[in-house]
């Protein structure tokens, strides 16, 4: 079979797997020899804390990826070249050193990544080489799903209908890598193991203690476990104390699992009327939706999708700082909010229902700019993804496309009573409240003094009093959002 290039380089980024990896498959199909690289990009790493679960997750996943590539190649020493530096410089330099004609990578839609890829492409072109970017991270990208007017969708439900119709016409099968005999042995200079955390300036986290599965194997194990539960997803997904979600979000983020494999697991069951599969498939469509919003409306990365929402006067100064600190540290006095923030701070994970509750609380109870919360989640979530995180925050603040109306304000007590009725989730993350009864645990400040004494709890000492009153906060929010009211 004729190949287009003598040799090529696969640049792994958000696709840390060999199964159904578009860039890898394209390179193996088009090149006689294929090298593989991952760059710990110092531009991305520089602002991160020295202990970052995501960096450790990536590092552990690379160890498996390296081993898998070596196992796939006939000579056993193909493996992964791992570099530490600015990708913008490292990739063209490596391409030159290896003498490849083309670099293959999965397309990234984040503004910073687009700028980086453009710079890499230009440098490669000066040396007569090409950068080939391929769709891999989503099912449908950028302008693949458009309205009848040829415009990107800004409302989810019609987008999903169009997305499903397109999927029916253009299935997205997941494929195993072929031509793996073309995986080239690494030159001696690059035959090094994946660097440990210290070598790239980081320290170990509690990733192993939390038993967060890493790599392609970890993702497949989670998927196998979830497929048995998928049918119950609709009824279980909103309750943080029970095993409802797939827990695959971090694997989707770093591409240790293929989005096509997940869609192909859910889609046939959706067609058969499986409610759980349909709801979960809908969540995967939301992911594509927010990715195309970021690609088509890049201004959302820093400001509101709906510009009128940038007129809102958010709290500022020492009070805002104080309220934000209480929220970040889980000391708002609202147990469900505080337990959710404790989960995030201790594990890097937060249940999806609680992302809505905590986000809404920050914006609509504390009056703090949604961008502050977006930034905090970006720092702390293992599965942080710019488009999904931004979309979620704009949804709770009502500033985004197809967001909840500004006057819809989650009552944190009602949410707590509905989705953690027995207080099991709260007890897990706020053990000081464990002895409160099933009513009082949702709002300790409303408990009778005798009940507090019996629970060995002193408000303001063992657990904070509420930083705001729900009814007053709601009234203030309606006033605050008054600037965006449409004339009747």
The number of beta carbons lying within 10 Å of the beta carbon of residue 204 is 14
Segment 125-128 long-range contacts (CB within 8 Å, at least 24 positions apart): 127/92, 127/95, 127/96, 128/101
For the chain, what are the domain ranges?
Answer: 5-135, 138-173+216-296, 307-482
Q: What is the pLDDT of residue 488?
A: 36
Just list the catalytic residues.
Answer: 283, 286, 314, 352, 370, 393
77: which DSSP letter? -
Q: Is 349 helix (H, G, I), strand (E, B) or coil?
A: coil
For residue 293 the two structure tokens come to: 């919003």
d(CA 101, CA 125): 10
Q: What is the pLDDT of residue 448?
A: 95
Supply angle C-alpha 368, 374, 376, rounded to 5: 90
Q: What is the pLDDT of residue 446?
A: 96
Query: pLDDT per residue over 389-441, tens digit each?
Result: 999 999 999 988 876 778 888 999 999 999 999 999 999 999 999 999 999 99
d(CA 139, CA 34): 25
In sequence order, the 6+-apart residues with CB closer than 8 A to the CB of 359 are 370, 373, 392, 393, 396, 397
- Residue 353 burial (10 A CB sphere; 0-12, 13-18, 19+): buried
What does each C-alpha distance from 470 to 230, 361, 464, 484, 485 come to in angstroms?
A: 36, 10, 15, 22, 22
pLDDT beneath 70, residues of the chain: 1, 403, 485-488
Contact of 21 with 259, CB cutoff 8 Å: no
Q: Considering only the top CATH level, what class is 138-173+216-296?
A: mainly alpha
**Backbone dihedral angles phi then psi of residue 67, each to the nearest 5 degrees:** -65, -40
Q: What is the pLDDT of residue 487?
A: 42
In sequence order, the 6+-apart residues with CB closer than 8 A to the CB of 208 are none
Considering the entire predicted model, what is its pTM? 0.96
Q: What is the pLDDT of residue 3?
A: 86
d(CA 347, CA 415): 22
Q: What is the pLDDT of residue 90?
A: 98
Closest CA to 258 of 77, 50, 106: 106
The number of beta carbons lying within 10 Å of the beta carbon of residue 202 is 20
For residue 284 the two structure tokens come to: 């995967």
Query: pLDDT per residue over 146-201, tens digit each?
Result: 999 999 999 999 999 999 999 999 999 999 999 999 999 999 999 999 999 999 99
Query: pLDDT per residue over 330-356, tens digit each?
Result: 999 999 999 999 999 999 999 999 999
d(CA 263, CA 383): 19
For residue 27 the two structure tokens come to: 């390179």
In the CATH hierarchy, which fold is given to the domain comprising 307-482?
DNA Cyclobutane Dipyrimidine Photolyase, subunit A; domain 3 (1.10.579)
Q: According to CATH, what is the number of the domain 5-135?
A: 3.40.50.620
């Amino acid at each position: 079979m004729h190949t287009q290039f003598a040799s090529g380089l696969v640049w792994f980024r958000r696709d840390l797997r060999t199964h159904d990896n578009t860039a890898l498959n394209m390179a193996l199909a088009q090149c006689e020899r294929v090298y593989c690289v991952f760059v710990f990009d110092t531009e991305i790493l520089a602002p991160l804390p020295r202990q970052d679960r995501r960096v450790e997750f990536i590092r552990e996943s690379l160890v498996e990826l390296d081993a898998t590539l070596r196992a796939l190649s006939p000579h056993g020493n193909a493996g992964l070249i791992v570099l530490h530096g600015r990708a913008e410089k490292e990739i063209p330099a490596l391409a030159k050193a290896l003498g490849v004609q083309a670099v293959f990578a999965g397309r990234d839609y984040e503004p910073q990544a687009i700028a980086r890829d453009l710079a890499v492409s230009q440098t490669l072109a000066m040396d007569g080489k090409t950068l080939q970017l391929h769709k891999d991270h989503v099912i449908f990208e950028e302008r693949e799903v458009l309205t009848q007017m040829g415009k990107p969708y800004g409302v989810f439900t019609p987008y999903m209908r169009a997305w499903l119709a397109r999927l029916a016409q253009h299935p997205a099968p997941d494929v195993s890598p072929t031509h793996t005999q073309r995986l080239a042995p690494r030159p001696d200079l690059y035959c090094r193991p994946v660097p440990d955390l210290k070598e790239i300036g980081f320290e170990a986290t509690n990733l192993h203690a939390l038993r967060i599965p890493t790599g392609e194997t970890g993702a497949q194990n989670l998927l196998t476990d979830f497929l048995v539960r998928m049918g119950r997803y609709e009824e279980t997904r909103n309750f943080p104390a029970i095993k409802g979600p797939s827990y695959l979000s971090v694997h989707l983020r770093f591409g240790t699992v293929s989005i096509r494999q997940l869609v192909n697991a859910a889609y046939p069951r959706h067609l058969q009327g499986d409610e759980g599969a349909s709801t979960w498939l809908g969540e995967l469509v939301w992911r594509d939706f927010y990715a195309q919003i970021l690609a088509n409306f890049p201004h959302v990365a820093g400001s509101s999708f709906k510009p009128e929402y940038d007129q809102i006067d958010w709290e500022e100064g020492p009070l805002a700082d104080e309220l934000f600190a209480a929220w970040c540290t889980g000391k708002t006095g609202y147990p469900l909010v505080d337990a959710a923030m404790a989960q995030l701070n201790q594990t890097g994970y937060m249940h999806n229902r609680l992302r809505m509750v905590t986000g809404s609380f920050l914006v609509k109870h504390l009056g703090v700019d949604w961008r502050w919360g977006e930034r905090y989640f970006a720092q702390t979530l293992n599965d942080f993804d710019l488009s999904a995180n931004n979309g979620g925050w704009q949804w709770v603040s009502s500033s985004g496309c197809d967001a909840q109306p500004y006057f819809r304000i989650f009552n944190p007590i009602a949410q707590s009573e509905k989705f953690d009725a027995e207080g099991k989730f709260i007890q897990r993350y706020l053990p000081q409240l464990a002895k409160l009864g099933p009513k009082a645990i949702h709002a300790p400040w409303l408990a009778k003094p005798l009940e507090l004494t019996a629970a060995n709890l002193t408000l303001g000492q063992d657990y904070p009093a509420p930083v705001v009153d729900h009814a007053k906060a709601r009234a203030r929010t309606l006033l605050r959002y008054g600037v965006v009211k449409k004339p009747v």
